[in-house]
A and B are shown apart, each in its own frame.
Chain A
Amino acid sequence: MEDRTIAKYLLIESRDPFDSNDVAHWHGLARALVAEGNEVTLFLVQNGVFPARPGTHSAALSAVADAGVEVLVDEFSLRERGIATTALTRGAKASPLDVVIDQLADGRKAMWH
């Protein structure tokens, strides 16, 4: 059996998929990292929170969650955009931005998109 250490990643998505086609690549990266046995959090912030509101791009986000990625959504960014934290797409969970600092302090490999 291959001896490998599970790595932990924090992928921060600030872009709106209606505005940026490469959000799908970011989802693909998250899924691929999980498929290789790593632990991944996808944190949505700023306009990146839009697919958490049920709509055209929500299915792709739910699929990321279904693949085993933890999908968290910045509560403040949701409030700014009038999106209710109680009605997010399946697999997405509202979260304070504090999670980012906690995971950085925990040594997660972090990337911003």
Chain B
Amino acid sequence: MADKKTLTFALMDAPYENPRSTTAMRLIDIAVRRGHDVNVFAYEGAAALAFTEQKPHANAVHGRDVDEEDHPLPHRWIGALLGAAAAKGAKIDWVNCGLCVDERGVNQAVEGTRRGTPGDFWKFATESDNTLVIPTR
């Protein structure tokens, strides 16, 4: 890909709280499917996006069992993004803020993501072609 770029995203929202998380996943998906490399710095609540202990659940109100409910799990979305990137020859370097992870007890992260510090975000921002910070309100 002649115009392959490296884009950095800083995410701050915890899973299941705001559509910003969904939009961020959509953006990353588009970027890697176009062959761009992507850096992600998951900060504050976003450090829980990659937590593999997220569990699907049934929905008693609507009478649906676990399979019927098919509850979305952000850690699976991240796994899918990593797979989509690999298929396109792109790379996702997903860093979960270590202090944020420890504070929340969400240390079990999706394989292919790693633990880091805000220093990684600084490095991402200085070395990538562009950076988008998606802040919490």
Residue ranges of A at the interface with B (Cβ–Cβ < 8 Å): 12, 14, 45-47, 76, 97-98, 100-101, 104-105, 107-108, 110-112
Contact = CB atoms under 8 A, between A and B. Distances in A.
Contacts of B36: 101, 105
19 contacts: A14-B19, A45-B23, A47-B19, A97-B23, A98-B34, A100-B27, A100-B30, A100-B132, A101-B7, A101-B30, A101-B34, A104-B7, A104-B31, A104-B130, A104-B132, A105-B3, A105-B36, A112-B134, A112-B135
B26 interface: yes
Contact of B26 (A76, A107, A110, A111): A76
B23 A105 contact: no
Contacts of B34: 98, 101, 105
A101 B133 contact: no
B68 to A, nearest CB: 22
B129 interface: yes
Given A46-B20, A101-B34, A107 B130 contact: yes
Query: Interface residue tally of chain B, by bracket?
Result: 10 to 19
A46 to B, nearest CB: 5
Contacts of B20: 14, 46
Contact of A14 (B3, B5, B7, B23): B23
Interface string B116-137: 0000000000000111111100
Given A98-B34, A101-B7, A101-B36, 5 more contacts: A101-B34, A110-B132, A111-B133, A112-B133, A112-B134
A81 to B, nearest CB: 11
Contacts of A110: 130-132
Nearest to B7: A104
Contact of B23 (A46, A98, A107, A111): A46
What are the 9 tightest A-B residue pairs by CB atom distance, in nearest-first order? A105-B5, A104-B130, A101-B30, A46-B19, A101-B31, A110-B132, A112-B134, A98-B30, A104-B7
Nearest to B19: A46
The residue in A45, A97, A101, A107 that gathers the most chain B C-beta atoms within 10 A of its C-beta is: A101
